[in-house]
Amino acid sequence: MVLCQGGEGDAAPAAGGQEPEVPPGREDGPGAVQPCPAPGVEAAGAEERRACGCCSGMSWPFCCEAPGAKKKAACPGLGLFYTVLSAFLFSVASLFLKKIEDVHSVEVSAFRCVFQMAFVLPGLIYYKTGFLGPKGKRIFLFFRGFLGSTAMVLLYYAYQVMPLADATVITFTSPVFTSLLAWIFLKEKYSLWDVLFTLFAVTGVILIARPPFLFGSHVTGIEGSYSDHLKGTIAAIASTLSAASTIVILRKVGKSVHYFLSIWYYAVIGLIGCVIALFVLNEWRLPHCGRDRVFLILIGLLGLGGQIFLTKALQIEKAGPVSIMRTMDVVFAFILQVLFLNHIPTWWTVGGALCVVASSSGTAIRKWRHSVKKAKQREI
């Protein structure tokens, strides 16, 4: 059998370890061997075959999809399922963090960074990306690692000193702050809708923090003292701002740096910073209980698994639906808090959650529609 030209070339990976682009409509993936039609034979539907660009010997649309159409996922909704699974894994990891006793949040973050490094190191070696990255991008990678690890430490601290659902809800203000920072530093458009979503997010945070000058001196539904609750709220907001800054930096860097290298900086700088902070605070200690040691390992594995499934979801699904489906993290946080922590959220927390979810979902939907509109304009 004669092979079509390019059959073996498609099977070879592109430079940098990335998969080659699949021609539109080729259903059996890159590198598939296709039989060519006999020379000189002009079957019915030859124009469709030429427009389609395949040589399967079948007329369009039976051979493949329409020209320019994107290849459909093998399983519809698989990306959204990965997103829900990712949210569940992150929520369970947060629950285990609440169950750990006498282990500082910085130490938990250090263990998480170790798991990240163990996962990323083989990828760096396989893709031959190096460990430092391009010279012009190293400063951005450094700040990405510093801000990303700072966000993780602050979030873990917030989880430890305030209700699980409250801390989780505050983190979902990240898309709103990302839009604001992108407007300031990247000169991206910031419309009245973005202002409205920002106000919704701020309202949600106020309902969760419940400052005494607005809600009185007797604040209910918090863990421990109000002082710890306020510290956790400030830490969660600072974590959200750090995470939003990280996203802006990643947008600035673009695709010029492999994502494994970005995670590597995050893990290495985070581990170095955590070790220094532990010696300064004199908080380094091995967990006294065997259960806490198991929880530390599970937090690392679950966090890594959640990140993998979220990455897979973004590879096969648009960012808009993924961002909206990620709000399931809030639902899981409420459920786990009630079932395993015996802490029923107050109506203030529920109201704040609704405000924040509406804000983040509105931001995601607006950006999704904007990207779809731009894609249609490019096609025209």
pLDDT in tens, 135-150: 888 888 899 889 988 9
Q: Which of 38-47, 71-80, 361-370 has the lowest mean pLDDT?
A: 38-47
| pLDDT (0 to 100) of residue 96 | 92
CA 220 to chain centroid: 33
Domain count, the chain: 1
| pLDDT (0 to 100) of residue 213 | 63
Region 343-356 average pLDDT = 87
| pLDDT (0 to 100) of residue 177 | 87
Judged against a pLDDT cut of 60, whether residue 56 lies above it is answered with: no
Distance CA 372, CA 380 (A): 13
| pLDDT (0 to 100) of residue 334 | 92
Residue 41, phi then psi, degrees to nearest 5: -90, 125
Distance CA 52, CA 26 (A): 10
| pLDDT (0 to 100) of residue 146 | 92
The answer for residues whose C-beta is within 8 angstroms of residue 43's C-beta and 6 or more apart is 37, 57, 59
Evaluate whether residue 84 is within a structural domain: no
Evaluate whether residue 156 is within a structural domain: yes
Q: Are 195 and 180 in contact (CB under 8 A)?
A: no
- H-only helix segments in the chain: 46-52, 78-99, 105-127, 138-161, 164-171, 174-185, 192-209, 212-215, 226-253, 259-281, 290-316, 319-325, 328-340, 347-379
Q: Per-residue confidence at 216, pLDDT binned at 50, 70, 90?
A: low
**Amino acid at the residue 278:** L
Task: List, in sequence order, every residue forming a beta bridge with 3; answer none if it has no partner.
Answer: 35
Evaluate whether residue 255 is within a structural domain: yes
**Amino acid at the residue 239:** S
Distance CA 172, CA 158 (A): 14
Evaluate whether residue 43 is within a structural domain: no
Evaluate whether residue 54 is within a structural domain: no
Evaluate whether residue 313 is within a structural domain: yes
Q: Which two tokens stand for residue 51?
A: 């427009």
Q: Percentage of residues in the chain with pLDDT exceeding 70?
A: 78
Q: What is the mean pLDDT of the chain?
A: 76
Closest Cα partner for 35 from 52, 56, 50? 56
Q: What is the residue range of 176's domain?
A: 89-379
| pLDDT (0 to 100) of residue 363 | 83
Q: Per-residue confidence at 36, pLDDT binned at 50, 70, 90?
A: very low
| pLDDT (0 to 100) of residue 91 | 92
**Amino acid at the residue 158:** A
pLDDT digits (tens, 9 = 90+) for 238-297: 999 998 888 888 778 777 777 788 888 888 999 999 999 888 888 777 777 678 888 888
pLDDT digits (tens, 9 = 90+) for 139-190: 888 998 899 889 989 999 999 888 888 999 998 888 888 888 888 888 888 8
Evaluate whether residue 322 is within a structural domain: yes
Q: Are 325 and 83 in contact (CB under 8 A)?
A: yes
Q: Are 164 and 341 in contact (CB under 8 A)?
A: yes
Evaluate whether residue 292 is within a structural domain: yes
Judged against a pLDDT cut of 60, whether residue 311 lies above it is answered with: yes
pLDDT digits (tens, 9 = 90+) for 68-97: 544 544 577 788 898 899 999 999 999 998
Q: Per-residue confidence at 217, pLDDT binned at 50, 70, 90?
A: low
